[in-house]
Each structure stands twice: as structure tokens, then as C-alpha cells.
Amino acid sequence: MTYLFNTPDQEREMLRTIGARSSEDLFEQIPSASRLDRPLDLAPPLGEMELERELRALASRNSGSGSRACFMGGGVYDHFIPAAVDEVAGRGEFYTAYTPYQAEASQGSLQAFFEFQSLICRLTGMDVCNASLYEGGTAVSEAAFMAMRVTDRHEKVVVLGSVHPEYRQVLRTYLSNLKCDLVVIPTPAGTADPEQVRAALDDKTACLIFQHPNFFGCLEDPDELTKLARSVGALSIVSFDPISLGLLRRPGDYGADVAVAEGQSLGIPMQYGGPFLGLFTCRNEFLRKMPGRLVGRTTDRLGRSCYTLTIQAREQHIRREKATSNICTNQGLLALRATVYLSLVGCHGLREVAELCCRKAHYAAERLSAVAGLSRAFADRPFFKEFVLSCASNDVEPVLACARHAGFDLGPSLSRFAQVGDGALQNGILVAVTEQRTRQEIDALAAALANERFALAGRPAAAGRQEPSASR
């Protein structure tokens, strides 16, 4: 990135142009009591060589997924990212996280988003895809809002307890100032009970929201759930895992009305707090009720193929308070990464990635649940790449710490999610296995935990035991 600075001459010229004597003048309107009357308390400036040494020392305190084996789940996953993704997305022509204001001036970006939309439509089997939203949680919430517009039902939204608790939290926030009930159907068995879902739905329900594979990694029955929603005239909204569609049936094939997802798995590195990528697709008849930007292909006045933002009249810069959504942009850079990723892996590659995840996750589940004191929760439910490991007694932390000490990251622990926390699940730990994990890593993790269990068993119960790793 270019380092921009002003020379004293340039500063003088700018001040002259705007008629100010000094840059101090520009702050005059801020009351003196609110102004800092001393220099900022910063360390003295460093030369380039010293700075580089300082930054290297700081960076060496990080430990990234490259130096450890990541088995973490809960919505963000350590999938492989081919080098070409960085190469293409890092090109100067593309390297912005933002949709340009004069969108049509950037034909390259628009073409990439058009390809993105087309790829996601093929991936999901849905009719329309927008140019992306911020992340999975807002995608779920925007889908619920759209369902309320489509059905003209504004009183009730039904969501399964097996939907990511953070997505449900975002949804709750979105709905908090509306007179709309958010009904959560508990899923103590790991997946939805169709009878309970049927009982919760009525002719006031705008939508039924489920996740498949769900937050616990288990597979729901999407045919049954979409059918139940349809039977009361509500929209079915599914939050899916893009990688899982290499193996599982597509939302469009089981009749989902809206399919949304967190797209981080598609070529986007794990980053603390994001940025992430929201995928949003739906059936054609809801096109005009959709939130977000849409890129269309057309021809210019000379008959050449070109790209344009379309169905824009419903966005807030035109429609003001009557806009379909306050989303007026897209997650451009990350949508581009997903486009490059999907183009590179292709249909067969995606199937291979999904198969590897699925097989390795099942191997890991088998090995880990064979460790004394550990078992797989919801053991009778089929799963894809993620499962809940449950501890016999209340030693989630020791298990996590032992794995951490041995170089493996598991979790998050389900106790972290207050809304999930009922009884047995407090002792649950999410474990996800991507194509990047090896048999050796899985075996080593199981061995480390087995040793820990053995050690635990031989120690007096909970007598101020020390964490194996001091750095937490």
C-alpha cells in the first residue's frame, strides 16, 4: 500500500486554498476543555531497521493456524486456500474491500461479482444470488426481514435452537424494535423434532429458519422442514455450509425458499473477528424483495457485453426509509476470493474437499470418542465435518488446555454460548475436521487427550490443578 504524506509546502498550499492560517485553526471550533493540551504519549519514532526488528518481535508472539493444527468449529473453518486466490485477489485492480461508488466504471469488479452470483447459484441450485452481504448472521436476519415482506406477516419468526447462537443473537437484535416474536424451538436431541416444529408454526409465521448441517454439525431433515414451512404459507430459510454442498443435496433441490450462508470456507482466511462473507440466495419470485446489490449482464450501445448494477431502485440511496434493507453495498474483496476459490476447485474439486472433510471428521469422531471419558454427543445423528465432543465430568477446560498444550486447537466450548447452555451441553466441545487435517494429527490429538485422561484419573479431584500451558 502506498504511504501518503504531505510536505510542508503542500500543507501551506492547502491552508492558503481554504483560507486558514494554520492547521490549528481547523480545530478552533472544538472547545478547549475537550482538546488535548499535550503531545500524544507515544514512543519515540523508529528508523526502518529498528521498526522492522520491533514488528518481527511482535509477530513472533503470534501462533497461527500454520504452526498448530486447528480443529476449531463454530462457523469459521481452517480450509485450504490455494495460492492463486491471494494472487488474483491481491491485484491492484481488485484490491479494495468496497464496491466502487460509480460501480459501472469498474467493469472488472462487476464481472467478478456476476461470476460470483452465477457460481453461488450453481452451488446452491437457487435462482438468484446477490453480490454478497457482510456475514452469515446478517444474512440470516436479512432473510427473515425479506420473508416478512414477502408473506406480509410481521408478528412471528420461528428459528431452531440448532441454528448458530450468534446468528440467533443478531436476528434478535434485528427484531428488537419490531413487534415481532422470535420463537426458538429447543433441539436437545441435536436436531429438530418435526412435531415440535409443526406445533410452533401457524398462519402468522413469516418464516422457519434452520441450519443444515446445524450448529452441532448434525444433519437436519431439510425436506421435512421446508415442507412444514410451506404447509402454513411461511418461507423456509436455510443457513448452509458451502463446502457441505460438495456432498449434500442443494437447498434449491430440497425446496428452500431462501438459502444463506457464511462464506468464509471459500478461500477466506480465519481472522479474529472477520471480515466474513454473507451469501444470500432465493427463488426468482422474491427478486424484488431481495436485500443488497445485484449485478446483471447487458449490452452497451455498441452491442458489447457489459455489466451493471440492477434492480437498484429498491436501495436506500433511492428509496430512503422504504428501502428493502439498509444494506447498500457488498463484501467485494471477499466475494472475489470466493469466486476465485470456486473457479479453481471446480465441481469435482469441491466434492473431493467435502469428502475429505467428511471422512476425516468421522475418523476423528471415532478416535476421540474412544478416549476414556469422552464421547460424541448426539451419537445417533449423522454429521458432516463437525461434531460435539462431550466430557463425562465438568472438565471442558482441562481437555481444551491439554489439546492446546499439545499444539491442537479445539472448540469453542458450548458453555460459551449462553443461549445453547442446557444441562449436558455445558460439557460439550465443538470439533471440526477439514481436509487439511491429517491422520497423524488426529491420532496425536487422541493420544494427547488419552494421556490427559489417564493423568486426570490419577490425580485428586480438582485440587487446584495447574494448567499444562501457562500462556492462555
**Closest approach of Cβ 216 to another protein, in Å?**
41
Contact pick of 178, 318, 347, 379 for another protein (by CB under 8 A) = 318
Closest CB to another protein among residues 149, 416:
149
Q: Output 326 or 393, the one with its CB closest to another protein.
A: 326
Contact 265, 283 (CB under 8 A): no
Choose one: 229-237, 266-274, 315-323, 374-382; the region binding another protein (CB under 8 A): 315-323
- Phi first, then psi: give them for residue 21, nearest 5 degrees: -80, -45
Closest contact distance (angstroms) between CB of 322 and another protein is 7
Q: How far apart are CA 318 and CA 338, in angstroms?
A: 29
CA dihedral 20, 26, 30, 31 (to 10 degrees): -40
Q: Which stretch binds another protein (CB under 8 A): 79-87, 156-164, 211-219, 312-320?
A: 312-320
Per-residue x/- track, 53-72, another protein (CB under 8 A):
--------------------
Q: Which stretch in 20-28, 62-70, 213-221, 310-318 sits in contact with another protein by CB under 8 A? A: 310-318
Rounded CA separation 7/13 (Å):
10
Binding flag, residue 297, another protein (CB under 8 A): no
Shortest Cβ 134–another protein spacing (Å): 24
Question: Could you say which of 14, 313, 379, 447 contacts another protein (CB under 8 A)?
Answer: 313
Q: How far is the CB of 151 from another protein (least distance, A)?
A: 12
The Cα 129–Cα 151 span in angstroms is 20
Q: Is 322 in the site for another protein (CB under 8 A)?
A: yes
Measured at the CA of 133, the angle between CA 130 and CA 135, to 5 degrees, comes to 140
Q: Which stretch binds another protein (CB under 8 A): 38-46, 314-322, 351-359, 365-373?
A: 314-322
> Are the C-beta atoms of 94 and 108 separated by less than 8 Å?
yes
Residues 182 and 165 sit within 8 Å (Cβ to Cβ): no
Minimum CB–partner distance for residue 321 and another protein (Å): 12
In the bound state with another protein, the residue whose beta carbon lies nearer, of 199 and 318, is 318
Q: Say whether residue 319 binds another protein (CB under 8 A).
A: yes
Smallest Cα–Cα separation from 213: which of 435, 388, 416?
A: 388
CA neighbor of 384 nearest in space, from 368, 410, 364, 413: 364
Scanning 177-185, 221-229, 311-319, 402-410 for contacts with another protein by CB under 8 A, the matching segment is 311-319
Instruction: Determine contact, residues 82/341, Cβ cutoff 8 Å.
Output: yes
- In sequence order, the β-bridge partners of residue 175 are none
CB of 285 to another protein, least distance (A): 12
- How many residues touch another protein (CB under 8 A)? 6
Query: Is 68 or 289 the residue whose CB approaches another protein more closely?
Result: 289
Cell of 394: 465438568
User: Does 459 engage in binding with another protein (CB under 8 A)?
Assistant: no
DSSP 281-316: EE-GGGGGG--S-EEEEEE-TTS-EEEEEESGGGSH
Q: Is 314 in the site for another protein (CB under 8 A)?
A: yes
Choice between 313 and 372, CB closer to another protein: 313
H/E element, 212: strand 205-212
Torsion on CA atoms 354, 360, 365, 368, rounded to nearest 10? -150
Residue with grid cell 467493469, as numbered in its chain: 107
Please report where in the chains the cell 434493507 appears, as a residue: 325
Nearest approach, Cβ of residue 98 and another protein (Å): 24
Find the shortest distance in angstroms from Cβ 407 to another protein.
56
Residue 231 or 298: the one with the smaller Cβ distance to another protein is 298
According to DSSP, the β-strands at 278-282 and 258-262 are antiparallel
Binding mask 275-294 for another protein (x = CB under 8 A): -------------x------
CB of 203 to another protein, least distance (A): 15
Residue 243: φ, ψ to 5°:
-65, -35
Q: Which residues contact 425 (CB under 8 A, 6 or more apart)?
A: 377, 388, 390, 414
Instruction: Please name every residue paired with 260 in a beta bridge, in sequence order, or none if there are none.
Output: 239, 280
Minimum distance from CB of 318 to another protein (Å)? 6
Q: C-beta of 149: minimal distance to another protein in Å?
A: 11
- Contact positions toward another protein, by CB under 8 A? 288, 313-314, 318-319, 322
